[in-house]
Amino acid sequence: MDFLTTLQVLDSSLRQATPLLIACLAGLFSERAGIFDIGLEGKMLVAAFLSAAVAAITGSVWLGLLAGIGASLVFSAIHGLASITFRGNQLISGVALNFLAAGLTVVIAQSWFAQGGRTPQLSEGGRFEPIILPGALTSSSEIAGAGPLMQLYSELISGHGLPVYVALALVPLTWWVLFRTRFGLRLRAVGEAPEAVDTAGISVVGLRFAAVGIAGVLCGIAGAYLATGLQAGFTKDMTAGRGYIALAALIFAKWRPWYALGACLLFGFLQAVAIRFQNIDLGVIEVPVQVMDALPYILTVVILAGFVGRAIPPRAGGEPYVKER
């Protein structure tokens, strides 16, 4: 590949990694507080649907974003009630939400729009438009004839939707909140030793609900970007396992924000390669498109098989807290 083609693949990798990264950070907040969230997939899916539906009806991507965040928060509240208030099994609650989202989105989409479980294609105003940074080139011919630095700036750094830049900014922000603030210290303590936090007079339930709420907001942004940024509308099961991939990236990253960025960029790169390079001819054999499409999921299985034993989750993760009397 020449330099420009490499930049184009990396540009696509960044866009593909954005929903994974935001969802991964959502899981990071939740699981650091001791609440395992298998329901990332369902929250992203319901947010993708409602954001696309509202954007299609109103023509406003911002109203769609708010609707997507609201839908994700509702699912987060259900998960919080089941896992924190009623002390139910967190994994079962998350899986149930995934099933609910998969069926509910298609049924409502068909009822509202009668397009086979889809929403109408979003037009200008209903999508996140690319942000052209100062001095960046926009014409393909101009970029092709520019120098390497200008190609890097115009092709890779400039021209993304707002959620891409937000996702990148969220990484240092998450690190700062978790490791440099009192709230972050308490949140991490709840995931490791909730009894110690409770003894100090701090509400374990309140902190865990706060973490689940933050995860809901982030999943809402991730799902909304899928339907109003990465694509131009909602389609059935459009998350395509991204919530599970985000969980795998979180385990691979050992519940750390900067490592999460690297893991999600790796998954995004494989997705970009699968999209751009179809039916690769290696001379001896031709790699079929199905194998390329499966690359991100194959990597997920490899990471889960090879790194689960080495990545130590928060000690109180998955366990409901029962206050001593």
Lowest mean pLDDT among 36-45, 130-139, 214-223: 130-139
pLDDT tens digits, residue range 147-166?
Answer: 889 989 988 999 999 999 99
The stretch 18-36 carries a mean pLDDT of: 95
Residue 282 pLDDT grade (very low, low, confident, very high; cuts 50, 70, 90)? low
Q: Which residue has the tokens 């003894």?
A: 199
Distance CA 303, CA 266 (A): 12
Write out the two tokens for 104. 């509910």
> What sign does the dihedral 97-191-68-244 (CA atoms) show?
negative
pLDDT above 60 (res 309)? no
Residues 280-295, mean pLDDT to the nearest whole number: 67
* Rounded distance between C-alpha atoms, residue 306 and residue 256, angstroms: 18
Residues 82, 201: contact at Cβ < 8 Å?
no
CATH of domain 3-129+160-307: 1.10.3470.10
Average pLDDT of the segment spanning 199-223: 94
Residue 170: pLDDT over 90: yes
pLDDT value at residue 14 = 94
Residue 192 banded pLDDT, cuts 50, 70, 90: very high
CA distance 101 to 120: 19
Q: What is the pLDDT of residue 281?
A: 56
Residue 283 has pLDDT above 60, yes or no: no
Lowest mean pLDDT among 71-80, 204-213, 272-281: 272-281
DSSP 199-227: HTT--HHHHHHHHHHHHHHHHHHHHHHII
Closest to 98 in 3D by CA, of 119, 77, 79: 79
pLDDT of 96 strictly over 90: yes
Of 273 and 100, the structure prediction assigns the larger pLDDT to: 100
| Domain boundaries defined on the chain | 3-129+160-307
